[in-house]
Chains A and B, each alone.
Chain A
Amino acid sequence: MYKKKTSVVGIIITIVILIILVFISNMKVENLSYIENIISSVVMPIQNGITYLKNKITGNSTFFADISELQAENEQLKKRNSELETTLREFEIVKSENSTLKEYLDLSEQYGNYQTKAAYIISKDISNYSNVFVINVGKNDGIEINMTVISEKGLVGHIISVTDTTAKVQTIIDTASTVSSTITTTRDNLICKGTLEEQGLLKATSIPTTANLVVGDVIETSGMGGIYPKGIKIGTIKSVDNTKNIVDRAAIITPAVDFSKVETVLVIL
């Protein structure tokens, strides 16, 4: 019996530790102001209560107002509140529909010269070492292997397999991905690869020795390699890693697309 109790306590402690670990590991240092929020959310209700009591004691006459009158008013307000909540919910639905349609429209306008097919991401990768997702269009919609996938912000990846109704997309941040790219301003060619070292970012290698890399420079597809069309934005240079040997230097690229938030994509047909 004792052993059973201790094992339950052990599991509860482990769960608590797990939750703390998850929160701490995902916390941004600059977001420490939320600790202030927590403290204020604990202290402020007490402070409010004390102020309320103080006001009552110092002779607030409304405290002894007619209770039945207040009850009637309360009922009326509750009714009005529920009506407003219903309207608000309707507005929320319309707003979300509007934003989805706007997103589709923006995407189509931006890449108007390509014939595209809009799609939703329906499943994301479960592995820590790759970055693949599944979209809700397939052979029935004219999707084929090696077609380019983009979003309103830039390049997403390409199709690696297709079923009748779904397709798998290998993103450019996947470790198996290699994209031939160009710096928009200087037209220097380089190779952008997915990397495990900086998850969610790209590593640019094979940089020409004469190339002048500036943080903030825009990188786009070069059109070489046979998969990605020319001129699609990949991202911007975040930092340059200058090695002793200039041939080995690399750069870290921040992708234009935020892969943790992307939900809608376009497949170039």
Chain B
Amino acid sequence: MKNVMIVIISVIVFLLFYLLQVNFFNWFTIAGVSPNLFVILVLFLGLFAGKRLGIPMGIFLGICLDFFIGKKIGISGIMLGIIGGMAGILDKNFSKDSRITLILMTIGVTVTYELGVYILNHLIIATNFELMAFIKILLIEVIYNVIITIILYPILQKAGYYIEDAFRGNQILTRYF
């Protein structure tokens, strides 16, 4: 029951992030570049609930995103699914209690996601390939995502431990031994 509630709340948070991204971060930009809140959401789900929730939620939320505004259905779905899986693997190897580690993870997943989406778009719908311009925008986006992660860190951590307790309550200690 607790698990179902967490999934429902995650979807509500996703919708909230979508509205924020469309309305607020459309003008609240750094040099015209807005952050990507969905990457942070899926990273956080994968880190605390494990890849069993991270991957399906990533794929589901990504496909929803593609339905809302994407040019081709599935591109965001695939990449957010990969981010969910990546987050699960990162959790096994790094501590999520450190702010620095979480920032580095945010940088890693943001770069992976945007690079993946850019390459898939280039291959599937033949977008123009402009590497330098892409890197410039990506760098600003990464900085913006890091700033948002720093701001949200206390909330993410509190909510994260609650999710971890619900999904992996009896596995939390065993992974350290």
Interface set of A (CB-CB < 8 Å, partner B): 7, 10-11, 14-15, 17-18, 21-22, 25-26, 123-130, 132-134, 160, 168, 170, 174-176, 193-197, 199
Contact = CB atoms under 8 A, between A and B. Distances in A.
B124 to A, nearest CB: 9
A195 B71 contact: no
Nearest to A133: B69
Interface residues of B, number: 37
A162 B53 CA distance: 31
Interface string B23-67: 001101111111010000000000000000000000000000100
Given A10-B150, A197-B133, 19 more contacts: A11-B153, A11-B154, A22-B30, A26-B29, A26-B31, A123-B69, A126-B25, A128-B34, A128-B141, A129-B137, A130-B121, A132-B69, A132-B70, A134-B69, A160-B71, A168-B69, A168-B71, A175-B121, A195-B128
Contacts of B104: none
A14 B69 contact: no
Contacts of B125: 176
Given A123-B22, A130-B71, A17 B147 contact: yes
Contact of B130 (A22, A124, A125, A197): A197
A243 to B, nearest CB: 16
Interface of B: 18, 21-22, 25-26, 28-34, 36, 65, 68-71, 114, 117-118, 121, 125-128, 130, 132-134, 137, 141, 147, 150-151, 153-154
A132 B71 contact: yes
Contacts of B69: 123, 125-127, 132-134, 168
B98 to A, nearest CB: 13
Contacts of B18: 126
A130 B75 CA distance: 13
B68 A123 contact: yes
Given A129-B114, A132-B71, A175-B127, A18 B147 contact: yes
B92 to A, nearest CB: 26
A125 B26 CA distance: 8
Contacts of A126: 18, 21-22, 25-26, 34, 36, 65, 69
Contacts of A197: 130, 132-133
B30 A25 contact: yes
Nearest to B118: A129
Contact of A196 (B28, B65, B130, B153): B130
Nearest to A126: B21
Given A126-B22, A129-B118, A130-B71, A195 B133 contact: yes
Nearest to A170: B71
A14 B137 contact: no
21 contacts: A7-B153, A7-B154, A14-B150, A17-B147, A18-B151, A22-B29, A22-B30, A25-B32, A26-B31, A26-B32, A125-B69, A126-B25, A126-B69, A127-B69, A128-B34, A129-B121, A130-B127, A132-B69, A168-B69, A176-B128, A196-B134
Given A11-B154, A17-B147, A124-B26, A194 B128 contact: yes
B71 A176 contact: yes
Contacts of B26: 124, 126
A196 B137 contact: yes
Contact of A124 (B22, B33, B36, B128): B22
